């Protein structure tokens, strides 16, 4: 049984199967993430918002170092180079490349973690959140020093996960974020309580216990990623092979992508800096709304793009730009077709969505989410659009675009927060505006570089998708008005059935409108639904 499980988990998956697996795992991970936020809000948001703000601030520098040094940089730079060596059966060079990256990233992130521990206090006080009061700032410093180990643990697990993606393995890569969330939830449920042995208190608990849960989750994620290496015949060397050509190639590609990731997260630092100057709880409210709008982005944009990326790099390695263009266009259409209705439902159903996290809802968080809803569509598109450049081993173009986008976002955010009465809503407005501008620029460059990628069929298809979404918007609006949020009470079990009905009816109408408008993406979904329904209806003999 165990052998059969590992055989299936370690098998190479098709793009469609991988995307489904990643979407399912992302959904589970997102649900756990929502449950985690629900626990945090119920424990602290109403009674101790300063502590929750301190917890959110504590992540900023460790996460910034991870994004700057590792994060998505490795997957998009390592996979194309590693695939070239594996396709040529040059395993010696491939394993030297991977060993070198593991060792280099481990050293770099270990140094970063030590520096964070040493300089946590001035970083919080002068860089991240100068608007916090003294007690909140002191708590944020203590929490940051605990979480500082994250970049080191994440770096190793990310290299291992990228290696598995390169050969089409996605199961353990997909499982890792889930166990990370489970670790944090465990910390909230158990480490936040006072721990006493034989009448002696050995740990006071509180929100510091959540930080310990974060470290536990990071360790669990590394363990899962390591298990996924089974059967790869990876030959690890405790050495950095500086002369390895693949390693040198990755190092040439890495700085641009790392800087791209770094400045993207630098934008988050600026947002927290600005939010710290507003009322208590503003940091948490904005980050909760941001997390909610990221759920569909991860489910659609990230999952599908991650699954499609290795195949796209393989097409170019095979010298088939025609197939690369065809598959890129198909993936773009699917992402747009899925993201459009989700954007509309998130905007209209924001009250329900926030109520699932905080009983009774929260108009502040719901208002922020309504502004961020627009970004769902464009952020989902961004992931596959940027990967079209990474597949061509071009990390500079997305970098230059990101620099301009981040600069615009910071200017808009600072203006909206400091010069208008928008407050934290200004941060969300800046995000949505910039997400549109960034995709617009990426598309214009893609059209010139990848000839005929946006042909007439593609444009007409997208216009029909927008029309179908507009018709569905009317249906959803009527459903929301019919099932008024205030009429069902505040419990999760009371709110879930009407919201589920709204979502089901909305998507059903979208499928019907898509079919009527001749949108080809609806056909396989309707065929699958037809098969599921009629396979359960036995003919009368």
| Predicted local distance difference test score (pLDDT) of residue 398 | 84
- Tell me the CA distances in angstroms from 422 to 131, 405, 418, 430, 433, one per residue in order: 18, 21, 9, 11, 15
Hey, what are 305's tokens?
A: 């793009």
Rounded CA separation 109/153 (Å)? 8
| Predicted local distance difference test score (pLDDT) of residue 232 | 83
- Tell me the CA distances in angstroms from 73 to 15, 126, 249, 278, 315, one per residue in order: 21, 28, 13, 33, 21
Q: Choose among 352, 353, 218, 219: nearest CA to 294.
A: 353
DSSP per position, 309-333: HHHHHHHHHTT-HHHHHHHHHHHHH
| Predicted local distance difference test score (pLDDT) of residue 492 | 67
| Predicted local distance difference test score (pLDDT) of residue 533 | 67
| Predicted local distance difference test score (pLDDT) of residue 218 | 94
CB 116 within 8 A of CB 144: yes
CB 55 within 8 A of CB 340: no
CB 191 within 8 A of CB 209: yes
* pLDDT tens digit at each of 541 positions of the chain: 545 555 555 555 566 676 677 778 777 887 888 888 888 888 888 778 888 899 999 988 998 888 777 765 566 678 878 888 888 888 899 999 999 999 999 999 999 999 999 999 999 998 899 988 899 999 999 999 999 999 999 999 988 988 888 777 778 878 888 899 999 999 998 888 766 666 666 556 688 889 999 999 999 999 999 988 887 888 899 999 999 998 998 888 777 767 766 777 788 889 999 999 888 888 999 999 999 999 899 889 888 887 888 778 878 777 787 788 888 898 999 999 999 999 999 999 998 899 888 877 788 999 999 999 999 999 999 999 988 888 887 878 888 898 899 999 999 999 999 999 898 999 999 999 999 999 999 999 988 888 888 888 999 999 999 999 999 999 999 999 888 766 555 666 777 888 899 999 999 999 999 999 999 988 888 888 777 766 655 555 4
CA 94 distance to own-chain centroid: 28
Residues 6+ apart with CB under 8 A from 297: 375, 376, 379, 380, 383
Helix H segments across 349-455? Answer: 350-357, 363-390, 396-419, 424-449
| Predicted local distance difference test score (pLDDT) of residue 115 | 96
Rounded CA separation 351/359 (Å)? 11
Rounded CA separation 358/365 (Å)? 10
| Predicted local distance difference test score (pLDDT) of residue 215 | 94
Rounded CA separation 239/181 (Å)? 32
Rounded CA separation 336/148 (Å)? 37
For residue 235, give the DSSP letter: -
Rounded CA separation 342/381 (Å)? 13
Rounded CA separation 48/41 (Å)? 9
Question: Domain extents for the chain?
Answer: 1-260
The counts of H helices and E strands in the chain are 21, 2
| Predicted local distance difference test score (pLDDT) of residue 257 | 67
Rounded CA separation 265/256 (Å)? 14
Hey, what are 430's tokens?
A: 């800046």
């Amino acid at each position: 049984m165990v052998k059969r499980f590992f055989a299936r988990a370690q098998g190479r998956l098709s793009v469609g199967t991988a995307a489904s697996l990643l979407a399912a795992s992302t959904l589970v991970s997102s649900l756990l993430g929502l449950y985690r936020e629900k626990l945090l809000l119920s424990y602290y948001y109403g009674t101790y918002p300063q502590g929750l703000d301190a917890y959110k601030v504590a992540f900023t520098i460790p996460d910034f170092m991870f994004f700057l040094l590792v994060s998505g940089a490795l997957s998009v730079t390592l996979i194309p180079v590693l695939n070239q060596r594996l396709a040529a059966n040059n395993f010696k060079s491939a394993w030297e490349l991977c060993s070198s990256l593991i060792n280099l990233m481990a050293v770099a992130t270990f140094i970063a973690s030590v520096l964070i521990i040493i300089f946590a206090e001035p970083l919080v006080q002068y860089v991240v959140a100068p608007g916090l009061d003294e007690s909140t700032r002191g708590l944020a410093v203590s929490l940051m020093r605990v979480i500082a180990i994250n970049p080191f643990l994440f770096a190793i697990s990310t290299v291992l996960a990228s290696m598995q993606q390169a050969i089409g393995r996605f199961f353990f890569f997909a499982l890792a974020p889930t166990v990370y969330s489970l670790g944090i939830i465990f910390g909230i449920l158990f480490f936040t309580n006072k721990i006493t042995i034989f009448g002696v208190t050995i740990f006071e608990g509180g929100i510091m216990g959540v930080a310990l849960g974060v470290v536990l989750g990071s360790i669990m994620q590394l363990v899962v990623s390591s298990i996924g290496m089974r059967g790869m015949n990876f030959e690890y060397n405790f050495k950095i092979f500086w002369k390895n050509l693949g390693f040198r190639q990755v190092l040439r590609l890495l700085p641009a992508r790392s800087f791209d990731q770094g400045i993207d997260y630098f934008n988050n630092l600026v947002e927290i800096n600005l939010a710290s100057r507003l009322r208590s709880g503003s940091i948490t409210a904005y980050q909760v709304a941001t997390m909610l709008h990221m759920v569909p982005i991860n489910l659609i944009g990230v999952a599908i793009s991650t699954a499609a990326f290795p195949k796209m790099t393989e097409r170019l390695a095979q010298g088939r730009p025609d197939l690369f263009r065809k598959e890129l266009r198909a993936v773009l259409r699917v992402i747009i077709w899925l993201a459009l209705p989700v954007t509309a439902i998130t905007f209209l159903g924001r009250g329900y969505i926030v109520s699932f996290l905080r009983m009774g809802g929260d108009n502040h968080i719901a208002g922020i989410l309504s502004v961020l809803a627009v970004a769902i569509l464009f952020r989902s598109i961004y992931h596959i659009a940027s990967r079209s450049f990474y597949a061509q081993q071009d990390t500079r173009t997305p970098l230059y675009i990101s620099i301009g986008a981040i600069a615009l976002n910071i200017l808009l955010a600072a203006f909206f927060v400091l010069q208008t009465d928008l407050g934290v809503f200004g941060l969300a407005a800046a995000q949505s505006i910039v997400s549109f501008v960034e995709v617009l620029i990426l598309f214009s460059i893609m059209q010139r570089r990848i000839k005929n990628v946006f042909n007439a069929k593609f444009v007409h298809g997208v216009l029909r998708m927008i029309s179908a979404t507009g018709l569905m918007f009317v249906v959803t609006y009527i459903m929301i008005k019919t099932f008024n949020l205030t009429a069902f009470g505040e419990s999760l079990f009371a709110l879930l059935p009407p919201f589920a009905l709204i979502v089901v009816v909305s998507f059903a109408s979208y499928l019907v409108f898509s079919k009527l408008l001749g949108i080809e993406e609806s056909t396989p979904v309707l065929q699958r639904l037809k098969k599921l329904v009629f396979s359960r209806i036995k003919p009368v003999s």
